[in-house]
Amino acid sequence: MRYRTFGKIGFQVSSLGFGAMNLPGVPLEQARAALNYALDNGINYIDTAAAYRNSEEIIGECISHRRDEYFLATKTGKRDYASAKEEIERSLTRMKTDVIDLLQIHYVNYVHEFKAAMEEDGAYRAALEAKKAGKIRHIGITGHRPELLAKWIQKDEFDQVLFHLNLAQPFALNELIPELTRRNMGKVAMKPLSGGFIQPVDKAIRYPYSQDVHVIISGMVSVDEVKENIAAMEREVEDAEREELERLALRLGTHNCRRCNYCSCPLGIPIPDVMISSVIREELGLLPKGVGFYEKHKEKIVSCADYEPCKEKPQCQQQCPYHLPMQSVIQKAAASY
Ligand code: SF4
Ligand code: SF4
């Protein structure tokens, strides 16, 4: 396992971080085995969030007796002071710890949400107070819009940012990562498999591993998955492989969707998933999870073409800050059934 100094935070973090988001979906003993195997094999960064069902409780139950062996990162999705304060206290209790290493303001994608979190009565003040009280050590932020995140870190209020970086979403490389490097901040990449669409797993992990980030958070739920993820990082990425991965990322990123979720579809079509996976499917095929996704949403995807209110002006496209042609991508995907 490779270890890197985590920017100004200074901790020696493992390049692979354990993403605990999906642990609530598996039996507790399986989660316990996966978490402990990860710690036994060099992973020392655990990432969760108050919003991930009972993920924090699982961490408290399964590994709090080994608390000095891992850097613990969680998130608050609250924007106001009182609710964030309450949620931080709840996280401490649920994870059976006296201190959270990194508290991130979670999923900030809109300017108005950022403003709400940062104003006098916002979540950031609750985080600062908890930091002064020794209940959290560092404050970070997470979001899906890298160019906005690059602006929001200009006042040095944060120590770390969590962002998408994978073969299908290389957008953080443009402004965000260079800015984080300039500021010596913690750089954490999430979703190497883009929610289970990118394959093979080895290639998916090795792309962010080849880039300038400290930690790659991969969602894992079993010992086998931890082994598979660790194995992908056994060798360093040499120049030739890095260049090949970067060329592939350029092709897979042509959909340009940031997963900001500004768009919504009255038919319930998960637009960002279709946008991103459409290109992956053409280039690499899909993992079983991706195939299952298309089976599950077939009816909705197919009905986009007949949805009268969108015939003249697609409703989704009016909401996209990147002006993407979602309707034609959805209808092309429908043609593949
Ligand atoms: S164009 Fe299709 S995907 Fe977009 S909102 Fe309308 S029905 Fe939904
Ligand atoms: S299609 Fe546009 S609005 Fe929808 S998630 Fe992607 S970037 Fe955001």
Residue 251 lies in a domain: no
Find out whether 206 and 198 touch, Cβ atoms under 8 Å: no
Neighbouring-strand partners of residue 76:
105
Residues 11 and 122 both lie in one domain: yes
User: CA–CA distance from 39 to each of 65, 188, 191 (Å)?
Assistant: 12, 19, 20
Residue 250 lies in a domain: no
pLDDT at 23: 98
Residue 92 lies in a domain: yes
The last residue of a domain, from among 245, 271, 289: 245
Residues 146 and 213 both lie in one domain: yes
User: CA–CA distance from 319 to each of 136, 260, 274 (Å)?
Assistant: 37, 11, 16
For residue 98, the domain's CATH number is 3.20.20.100
- With the most atoms of ligand 2 within 8 angstroms of its CB, the residue from 147, 194, 259, 279 to mutate is 259
Q: By C-alpha distance, which of 97, 108, 86, 167 is closest to 136?
A: 97
Residues 166 and 296 both lie in one domain: no
Element (H, E) at 248: helix 239-252
pLDDT at 287: 85
The SS3 assignment for 37 reads helix
- With the most atoms of ligand 2 within 8 angstroms of its CB, the residue from 107, 109, 322 to mutate is 322
Residues 81 and 213 both lie in one domain: yes
* Residue 320, ligand 1, Cβ within 6 A: no
Which ligand is nearest to the Cα of residue 331, counting in written order?
A: 1
pLDDT at 199: 87
Question: Which residue range forms the structural domain that includes residue 233?
Answer: 3-245
Residues 126 and 183 both lie in one domain: yes
As given in the structure block, the two tokens for residue 100 are 């959270």
* Residue 267, ligand 1, Cβ within 6 A: yes
Residue 24 lies in a domain: yes
With tokens 């991930």, the residue in question is: 52
Q: Where are the beta strands (DSSP E) in the chain?
A: 3-5, 12-14, 16-19, 45-47, 71-76, 100-105, 136-142, 160-164, 186-190, 215-219
> Over pLDDT 90: what percentage of the chain?
96
* Residue 327, ligand 1, Cβ within 6 A: yes
Closest approach atom of ligand 2 to CA 275:
1
CA 256 to centroid of ligand 2, rounded, Å:
8
* Residue 310, ligand 1, Cβ within 6 A: yes
Residues 230 and 278 both lie in one domain: no
Residues 232 and 293 both lie in one domain: no
Query: Pairing state of beta strands 215-219 and 3-5?
Result: unpaired
Distance between CA atoms of residues 295 and 60, nearest Å: 36
CA 261 to centroid of ligand 2, rounded, Å:
5
Residue 331 lies in a domain: yes
Q: Which residues of 154-191 are buried (b: 16+ CB within 10 A; e: fewer)?
A: eeeebbbbbbbbbbbbbbbbeebbebbeeeebbbbbbb
pLDDT at 196: 87
> Over pLDDT 70: what percentage of the chain?
100
The last residue of a domain, from among 225, 245, 265: 245
CA 1 to centroid of ligand 2, rounded, Å:
35
* Residue 230, ligand 1, Cβ within 6 A: no
CA 280 to centroid of ligand 1, rounded, Å:
21
* Residue 316, ligand 1, Cβ within 6 A: yes
Query: Domain total for the chain?
Result: 2
Residues 24 and 150 both lie in one domain: yes
- With the most atoms of ligand 1 within 8 angstroms of its CB, the residue from 330, 331, 332 to mutate is 330
Distance between CA atoms of residues 290 and 326, nearest Å: 19
Distance between CA atoms of residues 21 and 191, nearest Å: 11
Residues 76 and 211 both lie in one domain: yes
**Atom 6 of ligand 2, residue of closest alpha carbon:** 257
With tokens 């690059």, the residue in question is: 150
pLDDT, tens digit, 9 for 90 and up, residues 318-327: 999 999 999 9
Residue 53 lies in a domain: yes
- Around ligand 2, the residues with Cβ closer than 6 Å are 257-263, 271-272, 275, 319-320, 322, 324, 326
Residues 121 and 59 both lie in one domain: yes
pLDDT, tens digit, 9 for 90 and up, residues 15-35: 999 999 999 999 999 999 999
pLDDT at 336: 87
Listed in sequence order, the residues at least 6 apart from 151 whose beta carbon sits closer than 8 Å to its beta carbon are none
Which ligand is nearest to the Cα of residue 324, counting in written order?
A: 2
The last residue of a domain, from among 202, 224, 245: 245
Query: Pairing state of beta strands 12-14 and 3-5?
Result: antiparallel
Q: Which residues of the chain have a pLDDT value below 70?
A: none
Residues 227 and 262 both lie in one domain: no
Phi/psi at 215 (nearest 5 deg)?
Answer: -135, 140
Query: Pairing state of beta strands 160-164 and 3-5?
Result: unpaired
Residues 221 and 315 both lie in one domain: no
Which ligand is nearest to the Cα of residue 301, counting in written order?
A: 1
Number of other residues whose CB lies within 10 A of the CB of residue 87: 22
CA dihedral 65, 70, 71, 72 (to 10 degrees): -40
